[in-house]
Structures are given as structure tokens and as C-alpha cells.
Structure 1
């Protein structure tokens, strides 16, 4: 068994959390090929991404409160078991309808990892240290989205799109073994909550009444929606519209993740020196700058891969700075219901992102404009949300 306050436990929790970005990023280079193989259009394949986020959001409302009662570990084990089975269903899907069912179930199981890993960090490290630990977890976890499109492109080239989901099932099997045989339960018995619906709703009502919780959550959701708009539209913009090869698409995606990685390192290094809110202010300014630059280049008709990838690297630098700090800020004042707080936080994050991603797919006009304008708008929304809901209240 691992010791709870240890680097090995942080790595294990980061690996479980990585299941989310792996399931969204690994199959991105294969989306156009999947549309051809399943005889459907880009909008239906993009729906697999939005439906995944919708299932992820819905599952989070359940797994957090359940884990507040029964513990983090058993709920994560159940979730990863469902993720494994659903991944195999996706691999063997005979048509797009079955693929949509598989993706929804995959999300429903996979949500337990990221949600409960965040709650476990809050259980183990407390409100102040959690921001720093989450930053370093995000740095470690950044390897997953950096490598996922490259691995996905390689699997597509040599084994077909179905192999992407087989590899995800194998990863889930390894994580299940780690959870079952190595990870102790982080939630103390005396901190466990009732699972009665009245208690769960009371916890959610308490959280929604906290202006800081709403502010941190909306900042995170806006930044994540900008990232998700890129995930939803970039393969069609770069591969179909701009003619980028799937393997080069994976390399360009790695550069974008490098921006996120650098942001998480900055967040962890300066967490104590600058404080949570000053770091988030800097992160939202960087997000807004990257998004507005991308939107401006698209508006004046500059349609080149670097007009998309360059500004989005800047955007992701800001996301890396603010993402772990907003998570810690939302969970910090609520130790008695950290699972419920992580659930509601993730539900709002994923629901808003799923709606934004669906709109990007629905209004895709064959160019980069829809995606770029959406990312610019999300950067400005993140900046405005933090200023109006968190900073102004604390200054007052």
C-alpha cells in the first residue's frame, strides 16, 4: 500500500485523473476517419465529444456525494470498471449510434477518476497546500494530452480507429489494479456524510450560495470551454480545411499541451509567493489575450495552422496557470463536503463545455472562424468572471 501523503500517491492520483484527457484527446486525429468508416457526417462525430462531456457532467453529480458517504476508493473502482467495458463497446461499435452510447457510458464511468482524485487531494493535504499539489498533479498529467494525439495518430495509421478505444480499455485495467492493490482510502470515517437526497441537496444549495465558489467555477468553466472548443473543432479545421496530416496534427497538439504544462509549473512555483487570486488574474489575462489574437487573425482572413496553434498555445499557458488554482479555491472552504463540491464544480465545468463544444460543431462553417471566435469569447468570459465575482468581493 502507498502512504497517503507521498509523491507516489500524487502520481497515482494524477494517472487516474489523466483518464479524462486521454479519452477526449487520443481519438481526435481519428475523427475524420471515423466519420468515413461509420458513414456519417462531422457533426455526428463531434457529438461523440459533446455527449462524452454531458455524461461526464451528469456522473459527477452522483459520484462525489456517494464518495462522501462510502469513500473515494470504492467509487473510483466502480467507475473505472464501467469505463473499461464502455471502451470495448466503442471499439466494436457497428454504427455511430452504438458509438454514441459507448461514449456516454465511458464518460459516466470515467468521471469518477478526476472528480475523486481532486477530492482526495483536498482530504489529504488541506485547503492551502491543495492548490500547490493540484498544480504539480496537472504538470504530471499534462503528459497525457501531450502524448495522446500522437499515440492516437499512430494507432490510426497502423491499426485503425478502433485500436484507440482498445488502448483506453487497457489503461483503465492498469489503473484498476493500482486502485485495488495499492491505494489506501483517503477519506476518514468521521468525515463521511449522509447519502440522503436532502443532505446532498443541502450541500449543493450551500455551495451555490457562495459567491466565491461560483466565481472560481465559472472562471474554470470558461477556460475549459475554450480548450473544449479547440478539441471539438481543431481536427476538422486543421486536417480537413488546412490540409494538415494527422501525424503533424498530433505534433502540433503536443506544442499546445506544452503551453499548458508551462502554465502548471508557473502555478505551482508561485502559488505561495503570489497567492491564489493574483495567479488567477494573470492566468485569465493570458487566456483572454490568446483567444482575442486567434479570433482577430480569423476575422481578417489569415487561415494558416500557426494562426490557430500559436494563439492557442498562449491560451493554454493561461489555462495551466488558473486551472489548479480555481479548483483549490472552489474546494477550500468546504472540507465537510469536498466530494459534493468537486462534483458540482465538475458538473458545471463539463456542462458549459459540452454546450460550447456542441455549438462549435453545429455552426462550423468549414473555416477556423467559429472555433476562433468561441475561444476568444471564453477567454474574455474567464477574465470578467474572476474580476466581478471574486476579486471585487474580496477587495470590498
Structure 2
């Protein structure tokens, strides 16, 4: 089927970008509230950090479910279920009276938000392939990038005016009309074929098939390494900037927004580069830029230079490089597997979110009142990404296997 909205239009890109940003909508406006939850809910930093770790676990669980289900039954049913769950869990979080209740609500909020992450990638693969898919993914990534840029600013304002609960009321109010538009304007895009039932053994065969494909796995691994560094900043920046460096909540929102302009700029440039120099060449530029930025960031922090520009400028360029890597690596990984687009999208998401859950918890444990643990994790992940790219993608072009399991 075709979209009620023409897939070539800006309106369609905006709708898909907003749905893909459900996870960012759940995370970025919430970040400024983390330090205040320590006192308001009488919980230590390590427990408050579980509201982030539980969120990533919920996203990972959703990633594992929505993709395979959508390959068998279409994109719309799991997307409708997921957004409905997101709205219900968001309202539960708004009324949570304890840290335990908030952690639980965050898990189910993420479980719903995962539907947008997985299924928008699958919808793009239903409609596009190759460099054209990379171009469309980068355009959607540009819309997605608005939430990390403005989310903390909005969250900071709401926190100052009405408290942390108002952040969740904002999330629900923002996504409800988007959900209504989706119900009307986004019909089914999957070309469903008669297939085996969605049994555990059938799902295991599909996952195993993809995990054995070198082409798929090299791009997924590159996404994992790139994502570790970004999630290190996203999940821990409020503690570093507010608790360690003494920023106000409002100043944190402004600094975070400034850094995320790199995300937007990288996405905008990447959409053009994919059509001019190709997907892999675009990825390589992003990997090298992120590596250089990560080294500068760590060097400044470990030298004791604890001023805003020492974090803002390297992170701005790192986010620029990140946006040249991830949407294009996603498109490259999924292109050879149209019949398993949902399952492939799920595995990509699992790689991203396992990185997020692990680094969120680890940095909560290692936090020493400075930026050193965070910047060290970012530099190491960017080093791993550049080594992996040059060793497995830059040196030789993998040959994908296109036949799905019978």
C-alpha cells in the first residue's frame, strides 16, 4: 500500500521522524530532572540512574518484539499498540509517588516507545533501498534530532515552573495529536507474504540468519561502538554539568541544546552526502571526526580543564560525526534484507540499547564527581569505532547474503 501522505513529502518525513523520536521524547526532557530526583524522591544517584537503565531495558525488550511481529503481521498493529502503551505509561509516570514506581513506569514507557524506533526504520526499508534509503533515513534523523536539541530546554523550563511530574504531562500532550494523525495518514506499508507463524523457533531462525550475515553484523557492530559514546554523554551529562561543574538546570538545557546542533548539522549534511559520495564514504567521515573529537574531549577533561567549552565544542563535533555514521549504517545494514526488515531493525535497536543500558549503569557506579569517567568512555568508544571501520568496512566491502531463511 501507499501512504495517505506521499512518502516524498516533508509532511511524511515529519510524521515518521516524530514517531521515531518517541524514545528521545521520553529521555531528553527528563534529563534535567535527574539531579532533583535525588532529593525529591529521597534516593541516591545510583538508584535514580535506574530510571535511565530501566528505560533502556524496556527499549531493548521492545526492540526484540516489534520487528519480528511486524514482518509477519504488518507495521500498523504493533505501532498502534506501542504508542498506546507509551501514552498510558507516561501518564502513570506523571502520577508516580516513589522512585520504585517511577522506575517501573519508565520501563513500560520505553517498551511502548520502542515501537517508533523499530517500525519507522522498517517502513523506510519497505519504501526505499540503497543510497536512497540512507538519504531518507538521514532526513528522518534530522527531524529526530530536534528532540535532543530542544527536549532538555523544555524539560528545564517545566521543572522550574511545575516540577518533574509536568515533564511527563508534556510528553503525553505532545504525542497524542501525532498519534491521531498516524491513525489517519499512515496505512500499512509492508508487502506481507504467506510465512510461518510467529513462534519462538521461527523467530530464532530469523535472528540466527541475520546474525550470520557478515554484511549485516559489521554495520551493526559499528553502530554499537558509536552509540556507546553518545549514550555515555546523554545519560550522564546532567550529573557532570549540574552536580560536578555547578551548572544550573537552565544552563544545562542551553548547553545540551548547543551540543545537539551538531546532531542536526550532521544529519543535514549526511542526507546530501549519501547521494553524492555514497554511504560508506559518508560513514568514514563520521567515524574519523568522532574519533578526533573524542580524543580532544578526554584529553581536556583528564588535564583538569573543567570549563564549559572543553565539553561543548568537542561534543558538538562528535555529535556531527555521529549523525554521519548511524542513519547511514542502519540503511546499509538493512538494505539486503527487505523480507526481514522488521527483524533487522530490532537487532539494530538491541545493539544500540544494550550499549545504552550498560554504559548508563557503569557510569552511575564510576561517577567520581568529575567528567573523567564519562569522557573516558566516549574516547574509548570512538577509538573502537574507527578501528572497527578501518578493519572490517574500509579494507574490504562485505558481500551480503540476500536470501532469508525458509
TM-score (norm 2): 0.94
SS at structure 2 position matched to 1:122: helix
User: Partner of 1:231 in structure 2?
Assistant: 234
User: Partner of 1:52 in structure 2?
Assistant: 55
SS at structure 2 position matched to 1:312: helix
Say whether the 8 Å CA contact 2:79–2:115 is kept in structure 1.
yes
Structure 2 residue 334 is matched with structure 1 residue 331: yes
Structure 2 residue 149 is matched with structure 1 residue 141: no
Q: Work out the CA distance in 2 between the residues paired with 1:54 and 1:61.
A: 11
SS at structure 1 position matched to 2:49: helix
Say whether the 8 Å CA contact 2:56–2:357 is kept in structure 1.
yes
SS at structure 2 position matched to 1:365: coil
Q: Work out the CA distance in 2 between the residues paired with 1:360 and 1:306.
A: 22
User: Partner of 1:74 in structure 2?
Assistant: 77
Q: 2:198 aligns with which of 195, 199, 202?
A: 195
Task: List aligned pairs for 1:252-263, cutoff 5 A.
Answer: 252-263=255-266
Shift of 1:212: 2.2
User: Partner of 2:361 in structure 1?
Assistant: 358
SS at structure 2 position matched to 1:393: coil
Task: List aligned pairs for 1:1-396, cutoff 5 A.
Answer: 2-7=4-9, 8-190=11-193, 194-394=197-397
1:106-162 C-alpha deviation (Å, 9 max, x unpaired)? 111110011100100010123331100000111122111111000000100111000
CA gap 1:147/1:197 in 2 versus in 1, 3 angstroms: same
Q: How large is the RMSD of aligned CA atoms in angstroms? A: 1.5
Shift of 1:191: 7.6
Q: Work out the CA distance in 2 between the residues paired with 1:73 and 1:193.
A: 19
Q: Work out the CA distance in 1 between the residues paired with 2:195 and 2:14.
A: 25
Shift of 1:395: 8.2
Q: Work out the CA distance in 1 between the residues paired with 2:387 and 2:92.
A: 42
Q: Work out the CA distance in 1 between the residues paired with 2:276 and 2:304.
A: 42
Q: Work out the CA distance in 1 between the residues paired with 2:390 and 2:332.
A: 14
Shift of 1:357: 1.7
Q: Work out the CA distance in 2 between the residues paired with 1:189 and 1:119.
A: 13
Shift of 1:171: 2.4
TM-score (norm 1): 0.97
Question: Which stretch of the first structure deviates more once superposed, 43-52 or 101-110?
Answer: 43-52
CA gap 1:331/1:279 in 2 versus in 1, 3 angstroms: same
Q: Work out the CA distance in 1 between the residues paired with 2:229 and 2:56.
A: 14
Say whether the 8 Å CA contact 1:68–1:193 is kept in structure 2.
no
Structure 2 unaligned segments of length 5 or more: list them: 400-406
Q: Work out the CA distance in 2 between the residues paired with 1:191 and 1:339.
A: 16
Say whether the 8 Å CA contact 1:48–1:103 is kept in structure 2.
yes
Say whether the 8 Å CA contact 1:232–1:361 is kept in structure 2.
no
Structure 1 unaligned segments of length 5 or more: list them: none
Say whether the 8 Å CA contact 2:131–2:279 is kept in structure 1.
no
SS at structure 2 position matched to 1:270: helix
Question: Which stretch of the first structure deviates more once superposed, 5-14 or 19-28?
Answer: 5-14
1:226-252 C-alpha deviation (Å, 9 max, x unpaired)? 111111211111111111111111111
Count, aligned residues: 396
1:151-188 C-alpha deviation (Å, 9 max, x unpaired)? 00010011100000111122232232122122111112
Say whether the 8 Å CA contact 2:296–2:314 is kept in structure 1.
yes
CA gap 1:395/1:141 in 2 versus in 1, 3 angstroms: closer
Shift of 1:3: 3.2
CA gap 1:119/1:395 in 2 versus in 1, 3 angstroms: closer
